[in-house]
Amino acid sequence: MKPTEQIRGRFAPSPTGRMHLGNVYTALLSWLSVKAQGGAWILRIEDLDPQRSKAAYAEQIEDDLRWLGLPWDEGGNTPDYRQSTRTELYAHYFRLLEQQGLVYPCFCRRADILAAQAPHVSDNHGVYAGTCRHLTPDDIAQKRTQRTPSYRLKVPNQSIKFDDGHYGAQSHNLQHMCGDFVVRRADGVFAYQLAVVVDDALMHINQVVRGNDLLTSTPQQIYLYRLLGLEVPQFYHLPLLCSASGERLCKRDKSLDLGELRKHRSAEEIIGELAFLAHLIDKNEPIAPRELLPLFDWQKIPHQNIIV
């Protein structure tokens, strides 16, 4: 990023349920990181997967963010910022990968089911063994008569290095970490990894703040940025909010979703608790997001996951 460039950050929720405390924490810290530097905060609705996404949740996300005092500068639940309306763009970049000879059809069963979702660590995507990488044209033609393939991107046996703004120097070998990964599902839905890169690049996002469970997706995304000739943003990963058993909070934990929390607590109480957990304030007391702006500093944010 050039020193004079305005910071452009984003919050990219999937409308697959009501926002929970963990989502609010990611939204708050990405908002603070951008706004403390006078930047623009973009809201993008990641409704790639038609089966799991619901329009009502997208509306609810907007309502919850307004209630919390986290206004966005651009985007929201509006056509150009909803992934479901951006398929043509993903198709264009998919073709660029195909033209480089880096994409191949994969007929492995259930290979692609999770591909439209961000692969949070608990989803356990595993390493693809490369089963379909070396099929001959005849094999492919024969298999096509049986089923429609998903498409995978070939990854090299080399380490992708980057500097995370919070966790420091990272180096990951894609073949060891995930293997060739799905960029388009058999039903034509483009994968999260491709869509997020295309969107962040076309929306001129230069700062990505998100949970550290996506730290292992970042090398896949950097590889895509390079292949597509797009500019890589600065990444900052956050410690996760976890339950006492060490699991990341998820939308299944109903007691921590905003539907429940809003019944009993004010927005400032929720923000105060999260700011306290993020070590931005010394006492757990109500505070508004804008009052945290002068207190925000990445140096204060812990690295260990946080039990709530």
Closest separation between CB of residue 13 and ligand GLU, Å? Answer: 5
- Residues 7, 8, 14, 166: which binds ligand GLU (CB under 6 A)? 14
Strand partners, 162: 170
Task: Return the closest-CA partner of residue 106 out of 155, 174, 152, 153.
Answer: 152
Closest separation between CB of residue 215 and ligand GLU, Å? Answer: 11
Task: Return the closest-CA partner of residue 70 out of 123, 110, 11.
Answer: 11
Binding region for ligand GLU (CB under 6 A) out of 6-14, 142-150, 240-248, 293-301 = 6-14
For residue 210, state whether it binds ligand GLU (rule: CB under 6 A).
yes
State the number of CA atoms in the 13 A half-sphere of 260 facing the CB: 10
Residue 270 structure tokens:
């929720």
Residues in the chain: 308
For residue 27, state whether it binds ligand GLU (rule: CB under 6 A).
no
Our CB check for ligand GLU shows the closer of 132 and 222 to be 222
- Residues 106, 118, 174, 258: which binds ligand GLU (CB under 6 A)? 118
Residue 69 structure tokens:
């005092």
Residue 211 structure tokens:
């949970």
Strand partners, 20: 257
Our CB check for ligand GLU shows the closer of 58 and 287 to be 58
CA gap 190, 124 in Å, rounded? 20
- Residues 12, 58, 70, 277: which binds ligand GLU (CB under 6 A)? 12
Our CB check for ligand GLU shows the closer of 40 and 214 to be 214
Binding mask 152-191 for ligand GLU (x = CB under 6 A): ----------------------------------------
Our CB check for ligand GLU shows the closer of 205 and 287 to be 205
Helices of type H across 107-241: 137-144, 174-177, 192-202, 218-227
Task: Return the closest-CA partner of residue 186 out of 115, 269, 254.
Answer: 115
Closest separation between CB of residue 196 and ligand GLU, Å? Answer: 5
Round to the nearest angstrom and report the end-to-end CA distance of the chain: 35
Binding positions for ligand GLU, rule: CB under 6 A = 12-14, 46, 118, 196, 210, 214
